[in-house]
Amino acid sequence: MLQQTKQPGASLVGGYEKLEFNFPAGNVTAQDQGVEESESENKLDGETASDSESKSEFGGSSPVPTSDDTPEVLNRALSNLSSRWKNWWVRGILTLAMITFFFIIIYLGPMVLMTIVMCVQIKCFHEIITIGYNVYHSYDLPWFRTLSWYFLLCVNYFFYGETVTDYFFTLVQREEPLRILSKYHRFISFALYLTGFCMFVLSLVKKHYRLQFYMFGWTHVTLLIVVTQSHLIIHNLFIVPISCVICNDIMAYMFGFFFGRTPLIKLSPKKTWEGFIGGFFSTVLFGLLLSYVMSGYRCFTCPVEFNNDTNSFTVDCEPSELFQLQEYNIPVVLQSVVGWKTVRMYPFQIHSIALSTFASLIGPFGGFFASGFKRAFKIKDFANTIPGHGGIMDRFDCQYLMATFVNVYIASFIRGPNPSKLIQQFLTLRPDQQLHIFNTLKAHLVDRGILGSLEDA
């Protein structure tokens, strides 16, 4: 489900071959470029993932084929199997290992989960920037790698500073240095970014202006895709949507492996309609069952709040209506089929249908986007971190798209005004401003008859 941060409604929820990018020195006409792109498209449409060692469309030498990164223990145990079934077992074993690790992270609590998200973010950024670094390395562009990591530091300082202020508001206001940093946090963040911006301008080299601006844009798009989405994951700490993406990935692979016959999209030749449809129905059913189970536990439905008295996080509350069983009338058309007139379920289960539907129908397009990106640079995976799966980015390409949807969905359909944040802002005002708000609110409540009824009671 979703470990809630502090908002009442938020409780819902590859190895790199070394590439050489030899850009032509002269200008390419539109006609020539169109011919080259057409030939490249025709070749890509017919090739499979294993054909990624073909000659780079940039005119450089072919990437070196990726070596087998499967652990020797698995290689010996699966040596008698065909490559198809060997890959199936390798992916299956490591998938179970990753799921086990995921449950351990959930058990260890929100702080560990935030730390892991941060580590994943850094690794994904490294995998994408490494592709650009090959360009830097080939042309000896100054400061590209240093500036990329500097901008990552700046963006994380901005996002995590906002999160820390939100979580530890009372503690921050109590310590003078932290209070100053919190008050001028956005100005400091902007000043840090401007420093990197000026460093980039000073690093511009004649004859490489266009390429340097291209890499500048590369870094910023990577920050937008990776860091911003990671912040949304931390902001909501959702479990059900993450689990739905994992379930869809597994079930789509299983259905495609055993029943796949019809290709789904040219960007990913191994994806099939059978896997896509099977993954959809499996994910929706999984989302309903998982949300039903987790709605019954306060540790999954209550907000994670920082207790200033004990200096620790607490998870304790009276569950909201989203996580209380309610009775719903079944449509007349379906009553004859199921034999029931009413059904008892958690309201959050209805939201889980929307989340699981997005995870299975739209979420895979994040993977297709990543596939197109990899095919554009003639690489099979972003890295070889996880044997049989590729890099960390290969596993999280759909999660980042899901993170944005969850944040938008919660803000649009679930989360309302947050009283705790209003109180935090109220306490930072001057005494005269607090008195003015108090008198205005009191007069408003008296006019509506609410304050009088409370006093009579």
Look at residue 457 and tell me if it is in a domain.
no
Residue 389's pLDDT is: 76
Q: Is 15 left (phi over 0), alpha (psi -120 to 50) or beta?
A: beta
Question: With 90 as the cut, is the pLDDT of residue 383 above it?
Answer: no
Band of the pLDDT at 201, cuts 50, 70, 90? very high
Among residues 436, 379, 412, the alpha carbon closest in space to that of 51 is found at 379
The total domain count for the chain is 1
Residue 94 lies in a domain: yes
Q: Which residue has the higher pLDDT, 454 or 237?
A: 237
Q: Is 436 contained in some domain?
A: no
pLDDT of 56 reads 38
Q: Which of 190-194, 229-233, 270-274, 316-320 has the lowest mean pLDDT?
A: 316-320
């870094």: which residue's tokens? 219
Whole-angstrom Cα distance, residue 349 to residue 285? Answer: 10
In a domain, 95, yes or no: yes
Residue 446 above 80 pLDDT?
A: yes
Residue 142 lies in a domain: yes
Q: 118 lies in a domain? A: yes
Q: What is the rounded distance in angstroms from the CA atom of residue 125 to the CA atom of residue 377? A: 17
d(CA 367, CA 390): 13
CB 340 within 8 A of CB 321: no
User: Could you tell me where the DSSP H helices lie in 109-208?
Assistant: 110-139, 144-167, 169-174, 176-183, 185-202
Let me know: does 57 contact 44? Beta carbons within 8 Å. Answer: no
Confirm if 257 and 90 have CB atoms less than 8 A apart.
Answer: no
pLDDT digits (tens, 9 = 90+) for 109-165: 777 888 888 999 999 999 998 887 776 666 677 788 889 999 999 999 999 888 888
- The number of CA neighbours under 13 Å toward the Cβ of 73 is 2
Residue 350 lies in a domain: no
Contacts of 152 (CB under 8 A, 6+ apart): 122, 125, 223, 227
Average pLDDT, the chain: 79
Burial level of 327, CB count in 10 A (0-12/13-18/19+)? exposed
Domain range for 101: 85-237
**Model confidence at 29: pLDDT above 80:** no
Residue 52 in domain:
no
Q: What percent of the chain has pLDDT over 90?
A: 31
Q: Report pTM.
A: 0.76
